[in-house]
Amino acid sequence: MSNTSPGFLTTTELDFQNLKQSLKLFMSQQPLFKDWQWEGSNISVMLDVLTYNTTMKALYLNLVGSEMFLDSAQLRESIVSRAKELNYSPSSRSSAFVNLGVQLGGNDIPGVVVLPTGFAISATGANGSSLTFITDSPVLLTSENNWTANVDFYEGRLITETFVSNTSSGNSSLFNLQSANVDTTSIYVSVQNSVSDTTTVSWNYSAGFSGVTANSKVWFLQGYKDNYYQVVFGNGKIGTSLAPGNIITVNYRETSGVGGNGIKSFSPMSNTGLTGVTLSLTAGANTITAGGSERETSESIKFSAPRYYQTQGKAITASDYKELIEDHFPQFQTVASYGGEDATPQKQYGTVLVSGKIAGIDFIPNNLADALIDFLQPIIPLGLTVKVVQPDVYNVNLKCIVSYNPLKTTLTESEIEAAVINCILQYDSATLELFGASFWGTPLGTQIKAVDPSIISVNFSTSIVKEYIPSIGVSSGYSFNYNNALYYPFTSLTLYPLTFQPVFLSSIFYYSTTVQAMIQDNGLGVLNIVSASNNSVTLKAAVGSIDYSSGAVSISPFIISGMPSASNTLSFTVQLPSSDINAASSQILSIEPKNISVDVVAKNVNS
């Protein structure tokens, strides 16, 4: 509210009209000029100029004030800068990766062939787009291994930047990387003494000051401008400083992030650079690129930076682990960490369990798991150990019946169906796909109803699907927990089998080379392998058990001899009593397009 005391001019308004009103109020308190209230007067024109000038200054001050604090900053550059004060470096893009078999051929192969860092292959996406995948370290192929190896390839291209340290420039320890699309986990820094002295030493990345002495040859990383990064060297007290004339070489991978995910087709480059040697690539049936992620959003930086600062670079509480992993491993879509006392089915005291979900795949590759351990081990309390557990991912199978009034819309049934599917997928990306994120039918129903005013009602039936890629011909058992009470309408188990409908069903697989089979429950908590064509024929009894109240499933090892050509996934589906699905802290629920079924029903109603 304006102060109307004589002689007081309120200039805190940001709105032009309100500010002009304040000036008019001020003018009304002096006797000389009286025409300030008439828009045509000269004094009114002068008030306009004053108001505009004051508004501009107020806006500028407001902007400067806002951008000075992480909470209120709007510009990405300001957010990155504020985060830097908290020693927080925004997560960069990360490259999609894939593990492929490499085989060399030819009549005159040397005994040892080295594929250098940055050795490239070509990958073709489903839409025909072509991307390059490269190695991130040298790969040795020797005659002892028949010139074969499993090699990790990462999407992107290798960039090398060279800087010369010059103390006279006053900015000798700070070097800007030119690409905004750096995968910061790929940065490799080496320092050559000078042009004449070619002794070169690789320097290591340090996330903070902990353990860094004056003799530590380390570099730090910090955000710069919108999406860029700076490599920073020590000052001689914290980290070794650079000497004049040092030549700094920075290698890193420039990536397109999520654009590299989901690719299944790979081929060698036309020119591999290997003289007289042919190169062939082998990919498994389920091989697909994954792990590519986009750079951290401004909102995420605002959320994470203070929490990261809270950890002080040490992993003490469960949330510390989560924050530190999320910052250092951007390829994880979601991260979970919990103490061994909360582990199921068996408690693991003295152990911290960490897990993460990478976009596109449901497992953590071994090399990434090792990197996680290597990163966490030095910063956890003595006496604790870290263990990486694979994410426990469950798919939600959603059958949705949507009733709508055709008199209230111009959309066709197929358009409504498409809009509803889109709404469900948006709900999935916004609400699910995170550790411990439960599925609640009512909020989704409300969102679907909001898709179009013609939608009258929405009904769901849900089931949960656990999927595995089975090892063919190998005896394998399965143990998992749906963590939800299952659909079981009978009050007494002994009365059950009279009107039997299985609650638990697997997908079809070959139990012997010719017999198609599946696993189902018998209503008494026992799982049997039955014939797919006639489920009253039991092929193997009591292969496992199911607990209808807790959702725990245990299947003893058995051999799958093959999968139908249409599928290579073994899925286990259970029905649920309601549309709500509870997720434990180690579980991730996901809705995939293939698991959504929408039935749109027209209903003519008067209102």
Partner 1 sequence: MNTTYADFSTAFLQNPLSGDLGLVVNENAVRASLKNLILTNRYERLLDPYIGTDLQALLFETPDSGVTKLMQEYIKTVVRNYEPRVNLIDVICTPYPQQNGFTVVVKYSISQFPAVQTLSIPLQRAR
**Window 205-244: contact mask with partner 1 (x via CB under 8 A):** ----------------------------------------
Q: Which of residues 414-473 bind partner 1 (CB under 8 A)?
A: none
- What is the rounded distance in angstroms from the CA atom of residue 304 to the CA atom of residue 310? 10
Least CB distance to partner 1 at residue 188 (A): 55
Output the CA–CA distances (angstroms, integers) from residue 569 to 553, 572, 603, in the order listed. Answer: 18, 10, 39
524: its two tokens: 């008494």
Under rule CB under 8 A, residue 11 binds partner 1: no
Pick one of 4, 8, 12, 38: the residue that binds partner 1 (CB under 8 A).
Answer: 38
Q: How far apart are CA 462 and CA 578, in angstroms?
A: 7
Other C-beta atoms closer than 10 Å to the C-beta of 289 total 28
Residue 326 beta carbon to partner 1: minimum distance, rounded to whole angstroms:
45
Region from 43-51, 134-142, 255-263, 321-329 binding partner 1, contact rule CB under 8 A: 43-51
Binding residue for partner 1 (CB under 8 A) from 10, 48, 251, 314? Answer: 48
Would you count residue 512 as binding partner 1 (CB under 8 A)?
A: no
Q: Which is nearer to partner 1, 33 or 480 (CB)?
A: 33
> Which of 41/66 has CB closer to partner 1?
41
39 lines the binding site for partner 1 (CB under 8 A): yes
The number of beta carbons lying within 10 Å of the beta carbon of residue 450 is 10
Nearer to partner 1, 16 or 363 (CB): 16
- How many other CB atoms are found less than 10 A from the CB of residue 376? 22
Task: Name which of 255, 300, 285, 228 is nearest 77 in CA terms.
Answer: 228
Residues constituting the chain: 607
Stretch that binds partner 1, among 38-46, 116-124, 457-465, 532-540 (CB under 8 A): 38-46
Closest by CA position to 180, among listed 218, 223, 123, 147: 223
| DSSP β-ladder status, 218-224 and 596-602 | unpaired
Q: Is 382 in the site for partner 1 (CB under 8 A)?
A: no
CA atoms within 13 A on the CB side of 376: 30
**Helix, strand or coil for residue 275?**
coil
Residue type, 314: K
Interface region with partner 1, contact rule CB under 8 A, candidates 26-34, 143-151, 431-439, 516-524: 26-34
C-alpha to C-alpha distance for 406 and 601, rounded to whole angstroms: 9
Tokens describing residue 22: 């304040």
Rule CB under 8 A: say whether 60 interacts with partner 1.
no
Interface residue with partner 1 among 11, 21, 41, 241 (CB under 8 A) is 41
Q: How many helices and strands in the chain, by DSSP H and E?
A: 8, 30
Tell me how far, at minimum, the Cβ of 32 lies from partner 1, in Å: 7
Q: Give the nearer residue to partner 1 in terms of CB position, either 13 or 254.
A: 13
Nearer to partner 1 among residue 35 and residue 197 (C-beta): 35
Q: Quote the DSSP letter at residue 562.
A: B
* Pairing of β 130-135 and β 120-124: antiparallel
Query: Phi-psi category of 34—alpha, beta or left, where left has phi over 0 and alpha has psi -120 to 50?
Result: alpha
The two tokens of residue 263 are 């690719």
Mark the segment that binds partner 1 (CB under 8 A) among 40-48, 232-240, 423-431, 523-531. Answer: 40-48
Residue of 2, 28, 43, 540 that binds partner 1 (CB under 8 A): 43
Shortest distance (Å) from residue 43 CB to partner 1: 5
Q: Report the residue from 7, 40, 111, 276 that binds partner 1 according to the rule CB under 8 A.
A: 40
Query: Of the listed pieces 3-11, 29-37, 123-131, 506-514, which binds partner 1 according to CB under 8 A?
Result: 29-37
Cβ closest to partner 1, residue 17 vs residue 235:
17
Task: By CB under 8 A, tell whether 35 contacts partner 1.
Answer: yes
As a whole number of angstroms, the distance between CA 186 and CA 94 comes to 9
Q: How many residues bind partner 1 (CB under 8 A)?
A: 16
For residue 463, which amino acid is it? Answer: S
Q: Binding residue for partner 1 (CB under 8 A) from 2, 11, 16, 456?
A: 16
Exposed e or buried b per residue across 494-527, where buried means at least 16 C-beta atoms within 10 angstroms of its C-beta = eebeeeeebbbbbbbbbbeeeeebbbbbbbebeb
Query: Residues 34, 57, 237, 603: which binds partner 1 (CB under 8 A)?
Result: 34
Nearest distance in Å: CB 19, partner 1 = 10
Options 37-45, 286-294, 378-386, 456-464: segment touching partner 1 (CB under 8 A):
37-45
Minimum distance of partner 1 from residue 31's CB (angstroms): 9
Which one among 17, 74, 426, 429 touches partner 1, defined by CB under 8 A? 17
Alpha helices in 347-408 (DSSP H): 366-376
Residue 319 to residue 309: CA distance in whole angstroms: 12
For 13, phi and psi rounded to 5 degrees?
-70, 145
CA–CA dist 295, 225 (Å, integer): 14
Q: Supply 115's token pair.
A: 């594929």
Of 1, 32, 195, 566, the residue at the interface with partner 1 (CB under 8 A) is: 32
Q: Which residues contact partner 1 (rule: CB under 8 A)?
A: 16-17, 32-35, 38-43, 45-46, 48, 52
